[in-house]
């Protein structure tokens, strides 16, 4: 969605009042004009705020880009985990516990049902990859990334050229969110009880929505109608940014570890405005017995935006969201693992099949897709991730 402080002409108070309020009043009716203008101004302000924040700046755009099977099955409690290559995305300090060369792959394999849609459309692309390289017994490096076209979603094929929509197009927003991500991390073991880590993140994201479809869909989040942006055929934005994270992991008692990670990223939009995201998470992992792992953490995500002149953006106020993640992992004699968790009041679950030098993962998060999209499609709202870790 195009971010701008300039109010579209269609929504100017004068235009609306001329359409709704007759130009010629009696003396009795004229006193209601200020009240009517105030009411319309309030309605328009609410509409513009909801449209911009819910659609164009959904904080979960920066969340699902790091989806991995094991953390997702445990309610996204990735900061507290200690022995998984996904640490490069969640907490680089845990990389210090990786002492073998490893390759990680994750893939979201669901497609919208072909009996309803005639073209193949992925429900979601959450395909994260990682390469872990131990440099010595104390230092481990990791790189996390996704391939071009394998992050985001694209529901634009659901909308017809004439603006009509079918069953699925009426449920899913006919839009695209896509991009690429790259994270480089390093973990250092200061002692068997203390690990530190640092990582750098770079990314490019894009959002597109055909304007004709935006006017047609009635049950999705509101968007500006009309000709907005460089092209009259699309509502869109682009952003590019980078940032860094610092993490730690500390032994505090037998079988109990405290972990934390703090990071920020700055990004620029194609209209020369800018923004910053800050993410802080802290949690713990408990291993009361050898076959049981309990993880829990709290996370705070904060957004702020600035206009092209560097001043605070008036159209978007700073956005802060707090989240809690938790999960339980049960080790079944070293042959498999069962995982259960909670994420935003919804259940998550998954399992791992352990083979020599290979771990096969599956995870499911109920109701997670509606948070990614910013609207509830009412069907296929569970996110499914398949993946593996190969040790060499």
| DSSP per residue, 199-213 | EEEEEEEEEEEEHHH
Report d(CA 56, CA 280) in Å as an integer: 22
The whole-number pLDDT of residue 214 equals 42
What are the sequence ranges of the domains in the chain? 57-391
Which parts of the chain register pLDDT below 70? 1-59, 61, 114-119, 159-170, 210-235
What the block records as the tokens of 152 is 């985001």
The whole-number pLDDT of residue 6 equals 41
How far CA 48 is from CA of 42, 77, 221, 275, in Å, comes to 10, 34, 11, 19
State which CATH number among 1.10.4160.10, 3.40.350.10, 2.60.120.10, 2.40.160.60 fits the domain covering 57-391: 2.40.160.60
Report d(CA 312, CA 272) in Å as an integer: 13
pTM of the model: 0.78
- Which residues sit opposite 384 in a β-bridge? 364
Report d(CA 186, CA 93) in Å as an integer: 7
Report d(CA 117, CA 263) in Å as an integer: 41
The whole-number pLDDT of residue 372 equals 83
Q: Is the separation of the CB atoms in 74 and 339 below 8 Å? A: yes
The whole-number pLDDT of residue 161 equals 44
For 263-315, the pLDDT digits (tens) are 999 999 888 889 999 999 999 999 999 899 999 999 999 999 888 888 888 77
CA quadruple 186, 191, 194, 200: dihedral, nearest 10: -10
Q: Which of 233, 250, 244 is nearest to 276 (CA)?
A: 244
Phi, psi of 39 (to 5 degrees): -65, -45
């Amino acid at each position: 969605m195009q971010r701008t402080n300039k109010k579209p002409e269609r929504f100017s108070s004068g235009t609306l009042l001329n359409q709704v309020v007759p130009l010629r009043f009696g003396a009795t009716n004229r006193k209601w004009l200020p009240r009517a203008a105030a009411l319309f101004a309030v309605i328009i302000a609410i509409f513009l705020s909801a449209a911009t924040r819910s659609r164009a700046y959904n904080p979960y755009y920066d969340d699902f880009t790091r989806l991995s099977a094991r953390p997702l099955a445990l309610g996204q409690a990735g900061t507290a985990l200690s022995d998984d290559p996904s640490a490069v995305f969640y907490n680089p300090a845990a990389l210090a516990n990786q002492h073998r060369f490893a390759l990680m792959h994750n893939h979201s394999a669901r497609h919208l049902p072909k009996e309803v849609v005639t073209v193949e459309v992925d429900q979601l692309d959450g395909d994260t990859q990682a390469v872990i390289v131990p440099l010595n017994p104390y230092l481990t490096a990791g790189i996390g990334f996704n391939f071009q076209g394998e992050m985001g979603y694209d529901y634009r094929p659901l909308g017809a050229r004439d603006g009509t929509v079918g069953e699925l197009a009426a449920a899913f927003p006919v839009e695209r969110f896509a991009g690429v991500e790259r994270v480089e991390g390093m973990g250092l073991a200061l002692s068997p009880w203390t690990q530190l880590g640092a990582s750098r993140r770079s990314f490019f994201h894009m959002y597109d929505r055909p304007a004709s479809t935006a006017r047609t869909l009635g049950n999705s989040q509101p968007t500006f109608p009309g000709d907005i942006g460089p092209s009259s055929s699309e509502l869109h934005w682009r952003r590019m940014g980078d940032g860094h994270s610092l993490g730690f992991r500390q032994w505090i008692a037998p079988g109990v570890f405290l972990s934390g990670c703090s990071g920020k990223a700055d990004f620029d939009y194609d209209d020369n405005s800018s923004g910053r995201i800050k993410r802080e998470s802290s949690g713990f992992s408990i291993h009361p017995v050898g076959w049981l792992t309990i993880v829990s953490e709290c996370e705070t995500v904060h957004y702020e935006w600035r206009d092209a002149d560097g001043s605070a953006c008036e159209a978007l106020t700073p956005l802060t969201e707090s989240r809690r993640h938790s999960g339980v992992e049960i080790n079944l004699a070293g042959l498999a693992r069962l995982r259960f968790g909670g994420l935003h009041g919804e259940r998550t679950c998954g399992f791992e099949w352990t083979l020599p030098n290979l771990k096969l993962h599956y995870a499911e998060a109920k109701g997670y897709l509606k948070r990614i999209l910013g609207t509830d499609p009412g069907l296929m709202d569970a996110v499914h991730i398949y993946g593996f870790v190969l040790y060499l």
